[in-house]
Structure 1
Amino acid sequence: MSSKFKLLGSHPAFIDTSLLLLRIAGGGFMLTHGFGKLQKLINGTFEFADPIGIGPEMSLALVVLAEIVCAFFILIGLLTRLAAIPLIITMLVAVFIIHDKDSFGNKELGLLYLILSIVIFLVGAGKYSIDRLVLKK
């Protein structure tokens, strides 16, 4: 196919820009989900699900760690692959345990965050990230 028919192609700059957008959207949107849970944690309101039997306080703390700290790390591209792991675990629990009996429509957002986190884990932060500055790749 002629190059004039390629819209954008797979130029590295487009890939790195796409990864940046994916990180900003995924990390930023996840922060909004974690903020209410952070408020609960700060206020000492530990009414929270205990899906894996570690207690509602610990469950809440781990979800806040994933949805606030790890989401922020993904947003800025710091320890990105490592930060994706708690989000993957959190979304697996949310989708397949907490919302197990719910309709697909209620699981859809959690599945989207799960897939987004898996993609970020697999491909990393990209060029426009703190990881890239630190690792100098």
Structure 2
Amino acid sequence: MMNLLRLSFLPQSADLGLLILRVSLGFSMLLLHGWDKFQNFSVKAPNFIRLFDVVPSHISLGMAVFAEVVCSVLIILGFFTRFAALNLAITMAVAFFIQHKGQFTGPASGELAFVYLVGFATLVFAGSGKYAADGK
């Protein structure tokens, strides 16, 4: 019974876990968030966040598109994973703390941005694993 509860019949592999994390985070960020910003850049740019009231909205949108499209593809492939994950973690930190004001609940909830932030921060520290283009 203890073996069943411990799931000891399943192989343990941190590298496989990192592959699943990379691919799921990368594809969901790319397809659910980045691609729409890329396709509708000119429509979204005027209303996008101005970072610290200094960075124009079209520049901050361009940085978000770079992270959410280009860096997501890099993470899926496992190529320059830590660099790409750092860019996405920063983007998600901005989304959570500035756009959503650090709120986990309510109509302006940043819960999803926080979940992405934690996932990308994990990849910054853990790396891509061996099932990646830059794997060891």
How far has the Cα of 1:104 moved from its partner?
Answer: 2.6
Residues 124 and 27 (structure 1 numbering): CA distance in 2 closer, same or farther, change over 3 Å?
same
- Report whether the alignment pairs 1:113 with 2:112: no
Q: Distance in 1 between matches of 2:50 and 2:119?
A: 24
Uncovered stretches (5+) of structure 2, i.e. residues with no partner = none
How far has the Cα of 1:14 moved from its partner?
Answer: 1.6
Amino acid at match of 2:128: A
Residues 74 and 5 (structure 1 numbering): CA distance in 2 closer, same or farther, change over 3 Å?
same
RMSD, matched Cα: 2.3
- Taking structure 1 as the reference length, the TM-score comes to 0.83
How many pairs are equivalent?
129
How far has the Cα of 1:86 moved from its partner?
Answer: 1.1
Amino acid at match of 1:116: G
- Taking structure 2 as the reference length, the TM-score comes to 0.84
**Could you tell me which residue of structure 2 aligns to residue 68 of structure 1?**
69
Residues 5 and 74 (structure 1 numbering): CA distance in 2 closer, same or farther, change over 3 Å?
same
How far has the Cα of 1:124 moved from its partner?
Answer: 0.4
How far has the Cα of 1:100 moved from its partner?
Answer: 0.3
Q: Is the 8 A contact 2:103 2:111 kept in 1?
A: no
Q: Distance in 1 between matches of 2:104 and 2:20?
A: 29
**Could you tell me which residue of structure 2 aligns to residue 21 of structure 1?**
20
Amino acid at match of 2:16: T
Q: Is the 8 A contact 2:105 2:111 kept in 1?
A: yes
Q: Distance in 2 between matches of 1:82 and 1:125?
A: 11
Q: Distance in 2 between matches of 1:93 and 1:19?
A: 24
Q: Distance in 2 between matches of 1:75 and 1:123?
A: 15
Q: Is the 8 A contact 1:51 1:98 kept in 2?
A: no
How far has the Cα of 1:72 moved from its partner?
Answer: 0.9
Moved >3 Å (runs of 4+): 2-6, 8-11
Larger helix percent: 1
Amino acid at match of 2:15: D
